[in-house]
Amino acid sequence: EALDKGLEKTKAGLFSKLTKAVMGKSTVDDEVLDELEEILVTSDVGVTTTLKIIDRIQERVSKDKYFGASELNTLLKSEIQKLLAENNSNDFENFEYGNHKPYVIMVVGVNGVGKTTTIGKLAHKLKLAGNKVVLGAADTFRAAAVDQLKLWGERVDVRVVAQAMGSDPASVAFDTLQSAVANGEDVAIIDTAGRLHNKVALMNELTKIKNVMQKVVPGAPHEILLVLDASTGQNAIEQCKQFTQATHVNALALTKLDGTAKGGVVIGISDQFRIPVKYIGVGEGINDLQLFDRQDFVNSLFK
Ligand code: GDP
C-alpha cells in the first residue's frame, strides 16, 4: 500500500498518457509506438531501455497482425517485468546477514540524495529483524553529516561510531569494524562522503576505506550500496555511471520515489547498469524504506 501511494505520481504520468495514446485506436501502428516511446522516455525510463522495450513490442506486433491497442498495456507490463527480472533478484527477503559477521555495508552517493535517511531507515529495518547494528560516520567532511547520523542512531537506538570532523574516514571505518567485532554486532553500515567533483579522489578514498576494512573483516565490504535520488531522473543515471566507475557498487537504493513522476528511472537504471535495485525510499518516515520487489513494483505501476 505504501508502494502504491509512493508510485502514485509515476503511475498517473505514465498511464494517463498511455491511455490517451491508444484511445480510439484498434491496432498498434507506428504512430502508437512513437507515442509509447515518447511516454517512456519522458517517464525517465531512458532512451536505450525505451528502445529495447519498443523493439520487443514491435516484434510481437509484427507477428500478431490482430494485436489490439487494448492489449498494449498487458504487453508493456510483461516486457517491463522481464527487463527487471534480468537484473534483480527477489531473494533479499531471506538474505542471511549472519553468514558474515559483521556483514559490512558501505554506503556511497552524492550529498542530498537521502543517504543518511536511508542508512537510518535501514538500521531500523535490520534491527527489527533481530540484528545488532552499528553505524560508522565516515563522512567526516561535513559536520552536519556526522550529527545527522548520530540523530538517526538515537532515533532507532543503534550505536554510532564517530570521530572529530575532518578526521580520516578510513580510520572511522576501521574503528567501527573493530568495535563491531568486539561487540558481536551483526551488521555495520558505513556512511561515506559523497563528493563527486574529482573522480580519482573519490576512487582513492573509497579504495582506502575498503582496504582498511579488510584488515579487520576479510571480504568487507560485502555490500557497496549506492543511494540515488529517483526524482532527479537522468542525474541519477549520471551519478550511477560515476560511482560504478569509482568502485564496485553491487546494490542500489532509489529514494524519493514518492515525490516524483520519474519512477521509470528504476527500470532504466536496472537495465543499463545490471546492478540490482535492493531498496526503494517511498517517504521520509522511519518505515518508508522497502526491499525492492520487482513484481510488486510493476503490479503497482499497472494497477
Ligand atoms: P544525504 O545528504 O544524502 O544524507 O540526504 P538526507 O538523508 O539528509 O536526505 C535529504 C532529504 O531527503 C531529507 O529531507 C530527507 O527527509 C529526504 N528524503 C530521504 N529519503 C526520502 C524518500 O524516500 N522520500 C522523501 N519524500 N524524502 C526523502
ipTM of the complex: 0.99
The answer to whether 192 is a known ligand-binding residue is yes
Distance between Cα 248 and ligand 1 center (Å): 24
What is the SS3 assignment for 226-274?
EEEEHHHCHHHHHHHHHHHHHCCCCEEEEECHHHCCCCCHHHHHHHHHC
User: Contact 106/221 with Cβ under 8 angstroms?
Assistant: yes
Cα distance between residue 52 and residue 56, in whole Å: 6
The answer to whether 255 is a known ligand-binding residue is yes
Mean pLDDT of 227-234: 94
Q: Which amino acid is at 119?
A: I
Name the residue with the closest Cα to ligand 1, atom 20. Answer: 114
Is pLDDT at 226 greater than 60 in this prediction? yes
Distance between Cα 97 and ligand 1 center (Å): 26
Name the residue with the closest Cα to ligand 1, atom 16. Answer: 284
Cα distance between residue 290 and residue 2, in whole Å: 9
Query: What's the mean pLDDT when you consider all of the chain?
Result: 90
Is pLDDT at 292 greater than 80 in this prediction? yes
Q: What local confidence, expressed as pLDDT, does residue 94 receive?
A: 55
pLDDT in tens, 145-163: 999 999 999 999 999 999 9
Cα distance between residue 2 and residue 8, in whole Å: 10
Please compute Rg for the chain using Cα positions: 21
pLDDT in tens, 70-107: 788 888 889 999 989 887 765 555 556 667 899 999 99
The answer to whether 115 is a known ligand-binding residue is yes
Distance between Cα 118 and ligand 1 center (Å): 8
Q: What stretches of the chain adopt beta strand conformation (E)?
A: 103-108, 133-138, 159-161, 187-192, 223-229, 251-255, 277-281, 289-291
Ligand 1 site-directed mutation target among 284, 287, 289, 292, most atoms within 8 Å of CB: 284
Cα distance between residue 12 and residue 16, in whole Å: 6
Ligand 1 atom closest to the CA of 145, numbered from 1: 4
- Report residue 141's pLDDT band, with 50, 70 and 90 as the boundaries: confident
User: Contact 220/245 with Cβ under 8 angstroms?
Assistant: no
Mean pLDDT of 55-67: 84
Name the residue with the closest Cα to ligand 1, atom 5. Answer: 114
> Is the Cβ atom of 117 under 6 angstroms away from ligand 1?
yes
User: Contact 47/76 with Cβ under 8 angstroms?
Assistant: no
The number of residues making up the chain comes to 303
Cα distance between residue 298 and residue 264, in whole Å: 10
Name the residue with the closest Cα to ligand 1, atom 11. Answer: 114
Ligand 1 site-directed mutation target among 117, 125, 149, 282, most atoms within 8 Å of CB: 117
Assigned C-alpha cell, 277: 535495485
User: Contact 43/18 with Cβ under 8 angstroms?
Assistant: no
Q: What local confidence, expressed as pLDDT, does residue 283 receive?
A: 94
Asked whether the bond before 102 is cis by omega within 30 degrees of 0, the reply is yes
